[in-house]
Copies of this chain bind each other. A is one copy, B any other.
Amino acid sequence: MAEIKYDIIEKIGILSESNKGWFKELNLISWNNREAKYDLRDWAPENEKMGKGITLTKDELRQLRDLLNNMDL
């Protein structure tokens, strides 16, 4: 089985906690020792297990921020 190495460079913040105790987090993560990317993902407590998520570039975060600021949230 292949192995994924990752290193959480910066924990930026938590969006929510599920009733199973998982957190939806925005982090800056380096995957397989490559350049770090922003990452929006579900995590078990202490980042012990990871769920599904997506990676985002700084440009994408900037676009996302602008979209969110134009929404009626």
Contacts and interface: CB of A to CB of B under 8 A. Distances in A.
A11 B30 CA distance: 31
Copies of this chain, tallied across the complex: 2
B16 A59 contact: yes
Contacts of A16: 57, 59-60, 63
Contact of A15 (B14, B42, B64): B64
A69 to B, nearest CB: 7
A62 B42 CA distance: 17
Nearest to A26: B67
Interface in A12-65: 12-16, 24, 26, 40-42, 52-54, 56-65
10 tightest CB-CB pairs across the interface, nearest first?
Answer: A65-B68, A13-B67, A15-B60, A15-B63, A62-B73, A16-B60, A15-B64, A61-B73, A26-B67, A54-B54
